[in-house]
Structure 1
């Protein structure tokens, strides 16, 4: 259930975030402690997750401000959501999740093993789980509504949806952001394997980076000191939750449509530890 926030009118709830309309034509974006995996919202949430995502996004927005403007207007928010919410611009969002992959893993690995490509992008033979790609690629996806599944699409499909000029702009910005972020993360002992970004436009057509950016919810972070080819990498993101869900311990059948079981306390605690560690190692700040 969305929160009752004085002066804010609830507009929409996604898998993790709740959006409210506030005075001045802006939006109040609240990051909850909800966590999703395989397009399901899981229970219980991860304590402090919303605040970690908000802090980390703000830090990354600063690192990227010379590449692309972002949607943040103010961090002065109602007391009830302080620390986990932002006042942001109301943008016309592109219906595309802009993905940058620098390493082969996850659904990209499944596609590659099947046909040697990822979303229509051909890749060299002989790659394995964890392989660094010759250069980062842009395999976009559709953005699913609550209860629906994200779907990988080709660049040609994106072009058909939003036009060639916008598609090229989003691809170029996504790859530039990934290159900058990958370099920063690597300098702090973290490999940024891939990430998902979202963009929108202002009324004057300016493309703006929105939603969250480069958090453990939207990215794969691997500890550089334990990186090893040919296996699933240890991670600072929600891969720990995914791994538990697909294990025999959970008893959940991913092929079905049944809601996953509740997360055990140990999985919740370990996931929170990973989010905190990612934040502190990247930013150099204590949570």
Structure 2
């Protein structure tokens, strides 16, 4: 296999046959040693975080496949901390799509003059450009269209998929007495079919989850969800 990309939390390898292998790492995003799913830098290393994230990701991708939602997931190997996925083409240099149910994180920092911390939001969807140097700037559908990154029609599909996927995750967590505050998703196009599909991962590392108002860490979340 050929290493094609070293990411913050995963390394990406080209496989024979056209698929891609993701190797999950124990590095997590954050700042000053504190975990933050919205950060664009590696903040700390937590032993077992990669395997924990892969277990959660496998669980949720299998749920989505049951509901015929397009994803890049093929299979995973928990022992080797790897996931085989379909090859995808990114939108531009990559987009992150956030679905928010509570006003926390960067949303609160930007709009705190108009809301209170933890204020309920109705599946508010926002898109940011993956750009570490510019701190992942937010962009709307007109901007995406005019810059040739994503058509208005595809944006609507992206938003629809984001709300559907986030709702499934939210409902699944609620069964365990957990509340999803926000979740960060990534999408791409299948290289062969051109279909928009969910890529990357769905784990505690890309969501904020609380129980009775108390934040649940990613590895603790995995134990609660998969218990």
Is TM more than 0.5 here? yes
Cα 1:10/1:199, change in 2 over 3 Å = same
Alignment check: 8 A CA contact 1:33 1:46 kept: yes
What SS class does the counterpart of residue 176 from structure 1 fall into? helix
Q: Is the partner of 2:53 in helix, strand or coil?
A: helix
Q: Which residue of the partner structure matches residue 216 of structure 1?
A: 204
Q: Which residue of 1 aligns with 2:120?
A: 132
Tell me, in whole angstroms, the C-alpha distance in 1 between the residues paired with 2:222 and 2:18. Answer: 31
Distance 1:73 1:67 in 2: 14
SS at 2:52 equivalent: helix
Instruction: Give the TM-score normalised by the residue count of structure 1.
Output: 0.69
Preserved CA contact (<8 Å) 2:56 2:204: no
Change (3 A) 1:111 1:41: same
1:141-160 equivalences under 5 Å are: 141-145=128-132, 149-160=135-146
Following superposition, the deviation at residue 148 of structure 1 comes to 5.8
Query: 2-side partners of 1:191 and 1:67: how far apart?
Result: 24
3-state SS, counterpart of residue 188 of structure 1 = coil
Q: Helix, strand or coil for the counterpart of 1:139?
A: strand
Alpha-carbon distance between aligned partners in 1 of 2:86 and 2:42, rounded to the nearest angstrom: 26
Stretches of structure 1 that go unaligned for 5 or more consecutive residues are: 1-7, 117-126, 228-233, 237-273
Instruction: Give the Cα separation in 1 of the matches to 2:223 and 2:83.
Output: 21
Number of corresponding residues = 213
| Aligned-partner Cα distance in 2 for 1:136–1:176 | 10
Give a deviation string over 1:42-63, Cα, whole Å, max 9, x none. Answer: 34x1000000111100100122
How far apart are 1:67 and its partner, in Å? 4.7
CA gap of 1:83–1:190, structure 2 versus 1, over 3 A, is farther
Answer whether contact 1:93 1:198 (CA < 8 A) is retained.
no
Does residue 205 of structure 1 match 2:194? yes
2:221 equivalent to 1:278: yes
Q: Kindly provide the CA deviation profile for residues 184-243 of structure 1, in whole angstroms up to 9, marking residues without a partner as x.
A: 111211111011111111222212111101x121100111x2x2xxxxxx312xxxxxxx
Determine which structure has more spread, i.e. the larger CA radius of gyration.
1
Gaps of 5+ in 2: 31-38
Distance 2:142 2:183 in 1: 20
Does structure 2 conserve the Cα–Cα contact (< 8 Å) formed by 1:97 and 1:143? yes
- TM-score computed with the length of structure 2 as normaliser: 0.87
Deviation at residue 149 of structure 1 after TM alignment: 2.3
Q: Which residue is equivalent to 1:258?
A: none
Matches within 5 A, 1:1-287: 8-37=1-30, 38-43=39-44, 45-65=45-65, 66-75=67-76, 82-94=79-91, 95-114=94-113, 116=114, 127-133=115-121, 135-145=122-132, 149-160=135-146, 161-202=149-190, 203-213=192-202, 215-223=203-211, 225=212, 227=213, 234-236=214-216, 274-284=217-227
Secondary structure of 1:138's aligned partner: strand
Q: Tell me by how many angstroms 1:21 deviates.
A: 0.7
Compute the displacement of 1:154 (Å): 2.4
Deviation at 1:20? 0.6
